[in-house]
């Protein structure tokens, strides 16, 4: 059975994406055809800058994509308007990204492929506080309310129960229903994509799972949720104190740690594996991945960026 192509939206024009993309292609070969939705001129400028020579095949958004050539870069050309003014440039860059996403969404909705990757994007500028992150932006466009962020590494992955939420709002968001649904989602995702029944550790919300207040979320919400999921056959335990669950002897016991908020689990994971992780969105009608880092505008044109996360993201989609 032929591999489905991978749809790629590089994202904003001022990022390290093309640098790490060309570094990835120089060291890896993929069985899936690659389709970039971007400005072809920007692609060619960067290919020359990073000394990468490959044939470019311009295609149309409505073109049948199942027989595309693998030894070329297939590009759906979306022109970005040039403007010297900073404010206007940001406006046009955002419109350019939206236009690229729109084309990608149309292809995905037609089920021509189920593999989608977007490059790093400055969420503050692009989303303008309308969404917590790209994950939520994607969910809205596909009418999915229950989605989950999985930061995947083959040794240990993490899932934050809440994503880019201000810390003072986290405790208000955590419910038994949300925890149980996320545990089921993780279990189903691993079973479907990795043929593995995952062992899941759940962190508590409070330091050491203790509270000086009369109401302790770990006793009232987290523990009952874990016990309910156990009865459903999910291999889960907790709540565990977040400051010790990532110790070496504990990491060997689990495939994934479900944390209560973003930095509670992403900070230790990035400390352990740095760029060797992939951002995956669970709950969408297709597989969406992204490098587990931002656009890093300060590193643009320095040719010093690490391509590991993008390489792992493309390898993941290529094998699925």
- pLDDT (tens digit per residue) in 46-61: 999 999 988 888 998 8
Q: In the structure, what pLDDT confidence band is assigned to residue 141 with cuts at 50, 70 and 90? A: very high
What pLDDT was estimated at residue 67?
59
What pLDDT was estimated at residue 35?
95
How many other CB atoms are found less than 10 A from the CB of residue 92? 16
The rounded Cα 207 to chain-centroid distance in angstroms is 28
Task: Report whether pLDDT(274) > 80.
Answer: yes
User: What tokens does 4 get?
Assistant: 């489905």
Q: Do β-strands 157-160 and 287-291 pair in parallel, antiparallel, or remain unpaired?
A: unpaired
**Residue keyed to tokens 């709950």:** 283
User: What tokens does 41 get?
Assistant: 């001129």
- Backbone φ and ψ for 319, nearest 5 degrees, come out as -85, -20
Please provide the size of the chain in residues: 320
What pLDDT was estimated at residue 92?
62
In this structure, are residues 184 and 178 in contact, taking their beta carbons and an 8 Å threshold? no
Tell me which residue of 315, 314, 320 sits closest to 10, measured CA to CA.
314
User: What tokens does 78 get?
Assistant: 């979306």
- Backbone φ and ψ for 275, nearest 5 degrees, come out as -90, 0
Q: Where are the beta strands (DSSP E) in 140-247?
A: 148-152, 157-160, 199-203, 235-240
Alpha-helical (H) ranges within 174-278 are: 176-194, 217, 223-231, 248-251, 262-273
Identify the three-state secondary structure at position 159: strand
Q: What percent of the chain has pLDDT over 70?
A: 94
Task: Report whether pLDDT(283) > 60.
Answer: yes
- pLDDT (tens digit per residue) in 33-86: 999 999 999 999 999 999 998 888 899 887 776 557 667 899 999 998 765 554
In this structure, are residues 289 and 8 in contact, taking their beta carbons and an 8 Å threshold? no
Domains of the chain: residue spans and CATH: 1-144+284-320 (3.40.718.10), 148-283 (3.40.718.10)
In this structure, are residues 21 and 132 in contact, taking their beta carbons and an 8 Å threshold? no
Task: Report whether pLDDT(87) > 50.
Answer: no
112-140: average pLDDT: 85
Least-confidence region, from 129-133, 215-219, 225-229: 129-133
Residue 99: left (phi > 0), alpha (psi -120 to 50), or beta? alpha
In this structure, are residues 30 and 70 in contact, taking their beta carbons and an 8 Å threshold? yes
For the entire predicted model, the pTM comes to 0.90
- pLDDT (tens digit per residue) in 209-222: 888 888 899 999 99
Distance CA 50, CA 119 (A): 17
Round the average pLDDT of the chain to a whole number and report it. 90
Tell me which residue of 309, 191, 175, 314 sits closest to 255, measured CA to CA.
191
What pLDDT was estimated at residue 251?
94
């Amino acid at each position: 059975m032929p591999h489905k192509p991978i749809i790629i939206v590089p994202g904003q024009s001022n990022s390290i994406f093309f640098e790490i993309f060309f570094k990835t292609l120089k060291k890896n070969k993929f069985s899936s055809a690659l389709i970039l939705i971007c400005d072809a001129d920007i692609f060619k400028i960067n290919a020359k800058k990073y000394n990468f020579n490959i044939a470019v095949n311009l295609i149309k958004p409505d073109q049948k994509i199942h027989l595309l050539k693998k030894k070329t870069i297939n590009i759906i050309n979306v022109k970005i308007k040039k403007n010297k003014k900073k404010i206007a440039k940001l406006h046009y860059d955002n419109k350019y990204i939206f236009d690229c996403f729109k084309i990608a969404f149309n292809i995905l909705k037609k089920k021509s492929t189920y593999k989608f990757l977007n490059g790093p994007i400055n969420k503050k500028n692009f989303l303008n506080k309308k969404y917590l992150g790209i994950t939520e932006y994607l969910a809205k466009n596909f009418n999915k309310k229950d989605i989950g962020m999985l930061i995947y590494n083959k040794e240990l992955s993490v899932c934050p129960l809440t994503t880019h939420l201000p810390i003072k709002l986290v405790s208000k968001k955590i419910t038994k229903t949300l925890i149980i649904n996320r545990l089921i989602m993780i279990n189903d995702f691993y079973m479907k994509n990795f043929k593995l029944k995952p062992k899941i550790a759940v962190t508590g919300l409070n330091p050491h799972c203790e509270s000086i207040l009369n109401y302790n979320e770990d006793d009232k919400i987290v523990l009952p949720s874990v016990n309910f999921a156990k009865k459903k056959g999910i291999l889960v335990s907790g709540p565990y104190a977040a400051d010790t669950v990532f110790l070496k002897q504990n990491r060997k016991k689990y495939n994934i740690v479900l944390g209560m908020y973003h930095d509670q689990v992403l900070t230790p994971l990035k400390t352990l594996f740095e760029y060797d992780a992939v951002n995956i969105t669970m709950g969408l009608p297709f597989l969406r991945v992204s490098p587990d880092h931002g656009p890093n505008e300060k590193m643009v044109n320095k040719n010093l960026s690490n391509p590991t996360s993008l390489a792992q993201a493309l390898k993941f989609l290529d094998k699925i």
